[in-house]
């Protein structure tokens, strides 16, 4: 591997797309920067013991049913023993129950949970404001190419795979009777749902791809079996599985990399704030999968990466209610318990020429999707665009919105425009 010199303060560079890895107290911040504009920002604990203090999505715990609410078709489960000896309580829908994860008694499909039942649960969605974490017994783990979920059925594909790739991979997998049979319910294990991940798009023509998928699925299932068996002998609040800091960092690096699109791989540079951050990148799984990516250490003592790229300033800006656009128009972003509402206003942009309202709405749509990513808005999002008379203009705006939605690391779906011209979005909640 070619040795790359660290930055000197006089060195010039020509990259417009950067992934920054910064060290802040006990956390690591990973940012995607496009022409000095912050597009994505993630934060994770630097050490595994710090991660255990929070509700990390995908973590698996031994829990105890605290109480049942029949009207909600759900149970509330104590699952995490935090430092002050208080348990975190999560929301477990009845639809997320499988018999194999009730560990204190014989439990058949169709039986009801009772208060005091011991269960193995996984954090599906992190808590937000007054809402508890959403839990599931349908445990799920993933690898580079596949993801297995207990209690699900069938074979599916990542939404980011093209339709032709999906058809090709699904056809080959369904032809493999050994794989199909393995995913059915047997050996005291529930049925398993298999998801084929985006990485398989590069391997769809390899002869061994289905064998690799099968072996990968078996390995994940064995891990899940071990987790359940281990949980039967441990106390309430015990963490049975937690994504390692390295796994989290690799996932965030991949999300930033995917945002820029792999076609522009040679245009992206990764900059580490310190030598220790550079070592973390070099040791990550993501780095092993992308050995040719340019990674440098920033050593300019006169200016920090935080100041040079205005990271803190841009993060402060996304906390504001009003967001100004380059044209002079502005957005008003407000959140309620039920939904998020964004209003587009012409502001000072009334002197522009051409199709003014369409131009403002297109500019606003791009900034709105950026704000949704950075603020991590989830659930239902309503956008009151400026009213336009032409259906052709709405079609042009919709095309821009759909293109911008594809850049999001989380699944965001544009539903449609209402009769009043309000854009409806739904975004999945995956990260805290």
CATH of the domain at 265: 3.30.420.40
Last residue of a domain, one of 105, 138, 171: 138
Identify whether residues 204 and 110 lie together within a single domain.
no
Of 231, 264, 279, the domain-final residue: 231
Boundary residue ending a domain (119, 138, 157): 138
Same domain, 286 and 325: no
pLDDT at 48: 58
| pLDDT score at 11 | 46
Indicate whether 352 and 413 sit together in one domain. yes
268 inside domain: yes
Q: Is residue 383 part of a domain?
A: yes
| Residue 71: alpha-carbon gap to chain centroid | 31
Indicate if 322 and 422 belong to the same structural domain. yes
Q: Tell me the sheet residues that pair with 347.
A: none
The answer to whether position 9 is within a domain reads: no
**pLDDT of 428:** 84
Q: Are residues 203 and 271 in the same domain?
A: no
Question: Is residue 415 situated within a structural domain?
Answer: yes
Report the pLDDT value the prediction gives residue 409, as an integer from 0 to 100: 84
SS (HEC) of the chain: CCCCCCCCCCCCCCCCEEEEEEEECCEEEEEEEECCEEEEEEEEECCHHHHCCCCCCCCEEEEEEEEEEHHHCEEEEEEEECCCCCEEEEEEEHHHCCHHHECCCCCCCCCCCCCCCEEEEEEEECCECCECEEEECCCEEECCCEEEEECCCCEEECCCCCHHHHHHHHHHHHHCHHHHHHCCCECCECCEEEEECHHHHHCCCCCCHHHHHHHHHHHHHHHHHHHHHHHCCCCCCCEEECCCHHHHHHHHHHHHHHHHCHHHHHHEEEEECCHHHHHHHHHCHHHHHCCCCEEEECCCCCCCHHHHCCHHHHHHHCCCCEEECCCCCEEEEEECCCCEEEEEECCCCCCCCCCHHHHHHHHHHHHHHHHHHHHCCCEEEEEECCCCCCHHHHHHHHHHHHHHHCCCCCCEEEEEECCCCEEEEEECCCCC
Q: Is residue 1 part of a domain?
A: no
The total number of structural domains in the chain stands at 4
Per-residue pLDDT, 85: 60
pLDDT beneath 70: ranges in the chain: 1-14, 47-54, 81-85, 187, 204, 262-265, 350-354, 430-432
Task: Give yes or no: residues 307 and 252 share one domain.
Answer: yes
pLDDT at 218: 92
> Is the domain of 412 the same as that of 335?
yes
Same domain for 392 and 296? no
103 and 171 share a domain?
Answer: no
Question: Do 252 and 344 share a structural domain?
Answer: no
Same domain, 163 and 217: yes
Question: Does residue 416 belong to any structural domain of this protein?
Answer: yes
Does residue 4 sit within a domain? no
Residue 9: the pLDDT is 44
Asked, for residue 37, whether it belongs to a domain, the answer is: yes
The CATH number of whichever domain residue 130 belongs to comes to 2.40.50.140
What is the domain extent for residue 146?
140-231
């Amino acid at each position: 591997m070619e040795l790359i010199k660290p930055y000197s303060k006089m060195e010039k560079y020509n990259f417009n797309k950067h992934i920054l890895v910064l060290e802040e107290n006990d956390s690591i911040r990973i940012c995607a920067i496009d022409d000095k504009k912050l597009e994505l920002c993630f934060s994770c604990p630097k050490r595994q013991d710090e991660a255990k203090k929070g509700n990390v999505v995908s973590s698996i715990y031994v829990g105890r049913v605290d109480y049942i609410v029949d009207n909600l078709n759900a149970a509330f489960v104590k699952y995490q023993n935090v430092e002050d000896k208080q348990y975190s309580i999560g929301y477990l829908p009845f639809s997320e129950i499988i018999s194999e994860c009730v560990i204190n008694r014989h439990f058949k499909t169709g039986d009801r949970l009772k208060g005091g039942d011991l269960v193995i649960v996984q954090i599906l969605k992190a808590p937000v404001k007054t809402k508890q974490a959403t839990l599931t017994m349908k445990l799920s783990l993933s690898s580079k190419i596949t993801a297995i979920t207990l209690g699900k059925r069938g074979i599916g594909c990542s939404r980011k795979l093209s339709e032709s790739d999906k058809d090709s991979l699904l056809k080959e997998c369904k032809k493999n009777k050994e794989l199909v049979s393995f995913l059915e319910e047997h050996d005291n294990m529930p049925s398993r749902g298999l998801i084929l991940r985006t990485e398989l798009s590069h391997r769809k023509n390899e002869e061994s791809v289905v064998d690799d998928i099968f072996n990968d699925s078996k390995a994940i299932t064995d891990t899940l079996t071990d987790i359940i068996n281990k949980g039967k002998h441990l106390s309430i609040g015990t963490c049975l599985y937690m994504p390692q800091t390295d796994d989290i960092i690799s996932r965030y690096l991949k999300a930033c990399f995917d945002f820029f699109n792999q076609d522009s791989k040679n245009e992206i540079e990764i900059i580490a704030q310190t030598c220790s951050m550079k070592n973390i990148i070099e040791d990550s799984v993501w780095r092993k999968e992308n050995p040719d990516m340019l990674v440098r250490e920033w050593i300019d003592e006169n200016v920090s990466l935080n100041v040079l790229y205005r990271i803190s300033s841009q993060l402060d800006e996304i906390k504001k209610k009003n967001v100004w656009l380059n044209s002079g128009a502005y957005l008003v972003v407000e959140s309620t318990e039920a939904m998020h509402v964004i209003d587009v206003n012409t502001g000072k942009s009334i002197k522009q020429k051409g199709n003014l309202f369409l131009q403002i709405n297109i500019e606003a749509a791009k900034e709105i999707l950026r704000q949704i990513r950075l603020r991590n808005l989830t659930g239902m999002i309503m956008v009151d665009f400026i009213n336009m008379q032409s259906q052709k203009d709405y079609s042009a705006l919709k095309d821009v919105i759909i293109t911008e939605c594809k850049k999001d690391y989380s699944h965001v779906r544009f539903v449609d425009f209402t009769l009043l011209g309000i854009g409806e979005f739904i975004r999945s909640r995956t990260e805290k």
